[in-house]
Chains A and B, each alone.
Chain A
Amino acid sequence: MDEAWSQLKAEFLELQAPGKLWHKEIQTIAVRKIRRLTGVPPATFGLTEWSKDDLTQIVITERLIGRDQGHYIFEVASSIDDARRLLATELNFALEDLRVPNQVDNVWKNLEIKLTSLGWSQTSSPYSGPDHDSLVRMVLNLKRLKNRGIECLSPLFASGVLDSFAGDLMKLDPKIPKSMLIAALREALTIISPALSIESVGTSSEDYLLASLDSDERGWVANEEFLPNQQHAIEIYSILGPEQLEILFQIACKSSQSEIASILGVSRPTAVKKIDEFTNELSKQFDRLGIDENEKLSVFRGILDLLGAGLEEGKLVR
């Protein structure tokens, strides 16, 4: 087990809750998330401003303590990387929960127009339609649109789907109260919204992290030392020359020896020699820093991050 995770575990064990070290980890993840959400109004999530401290506090109180997810992470994670990925998921969930009221407002605004056009109006007449649970089930079973990511408010239902839903509601009881519909929407969306943000939870680390980074934040990630072994990556990056960094990038792109020769402007045999020199230099640095076999990949990825490389449609680009 790595040292950082041992310390976090010890702290959790002592306090039986997340302490200062956990707070710091979540804060780092929150800063990264806020950078990614540049341009998204904080009001989308019911916040007045983007504050790493507020987000950290919400994750700790609502998720780690309120939902006991701190204990889950404590029990399940085996390394600091595992823990960070699980904490990142908790932050996503916290944000999703925060934006449920806004999504309810949006859906209700659209639904109300359709209901009104069918003759619905708010009345205080006795109601004999479906109960709360049945209404929640109806909302849950409406066909949803493809989720367009978690940054912006992605529309949940197509207009036609809401038309049909409004028609069904009117058939059941045209006197259905607004408060009941909103309560049903709130409960249904509280289930739907966080579930939409789940893709990968602490599994394929390399793809998950690299693919989830935007180009503008990669440099920042390096500064924040968020990625595993980032310190080693920075050190090796500073030692390698521009030509060697180009070779590293081209190797990661699976370029052939001829392609690398062409990019470097040298003959193929010279390129082969330079590639050999580069691989020897890299091995030497790995050995010097005492990097384990299974850590080499993440250091390599860290160097690629520093080069500004990232995945775009499955291809490595800068």
Chain B
Amino acid sequence: MNSKIRFDKFQVGEIYKIQDPSSTGKPRLVILAEIDDTDYSALAFLLNNMTEAAIPRDLNISKSKIESKFDVVLMTEYFSRIDLQNLDSQNRIGTLPKVDIEKIRSISFNYPFGQLPVAIESEGIRIGKYPVQKNDTVWAFRANEFENFNKLIFIRNKLSSDYVSRILDLYEDLSPILDDCPIDALFLRGRESVGMAS
């Protein structure tokens, strides 16, 4: 394993700032929902600070709940994979208990349309009240946030050479093993993976 990276650094429910290394996307806050140690990526919900514009698909989370200095809005529809290396790991903004983030994830996925069910609410977690309507500027805001989030996410393709390079970078100890591995065997395994995927 690459000695520079500590997999145990991040925990589910933690809130961090994410930045785009290419600087095309603006920094935002995300909350980790699932961490994949294999490739150092995670599934995360996007957060914002516009509590007034939280629609019934969003959750207003109080600062006391996440032990941060400000309230946040969790956008349940803005859920994607991110690269943990793009997080500002030195500065954890807050933490939502794991049980809460799992509950949010499960309920929001089970109810993909319309207002979130009241069951998702608990102390410090409330469904957004703003009823977005046709021509609302809130749509423009959400579209902008979506576009920006697209620049911050990590697209994982397990069959790509990028992914293999990433794994080899992360697990330097693997390189000597692969050096000794017959190239034909690797090729065969690769073909099997492609076959399974298709």
Chain A residues near B (Cβ < 8 Å)? 67-69, 71-72, 75-78, 82, 93, 140-141, 143-144, 146-147, 191-192, 194-204, 294
Contact = CB atoms under 8 A, between A and B. Distances in A.
B141 A201 contact: yes
A76 B137 contact: no
A69 B26 contact: no
A189 to B, nearest CB: 11
Interface in B53-104: 53, 63, 68-71, 91, 93
A260 B56 CA distance: 53
B141 A200 contact: yes
A76 B133 contact: no
A144 B17 CA distance: 35
14 contacts: A67-B71, A71-B70, A76-B17, A82-B26, A143-B133, A144-B133, A147-B135, A147-B137, A194-B52, A194-B53, A195-B53, A196-B136, A199-B137, A203-B148
Contacts of A93: 52
B27 A78 contact: yes
B130 interface: yes
B126 interface: no
Nearest to A81: B26
Contacts of A82: 26-27
- State which size class the interface on B falls in: 20 to 34
A201 B147 CA distance: 12
A194 B52 CA distance: 7
Contacts of B69: 68, 71-72, 75
B93 A198 contact: no
Given A198-B141, A294-B23, A69 B52 contact: no
B27 A199 contact: no
Contacts of B148: 203
B93 A195 contact: no
B136 A76 contact: no
Contact of A198 (B70, B135, B138, B147): B138
Contact of A68 (B23, B70, B138, B140): B70
A13 to B, nearest CB: 12
A140 B71 contact: no
Residue in A76, A146, A197 whose Cβ sees the most chain B Cβ within 10 Å: A76
A294 B148 CA distance: 17
A203 B145 contact: yes
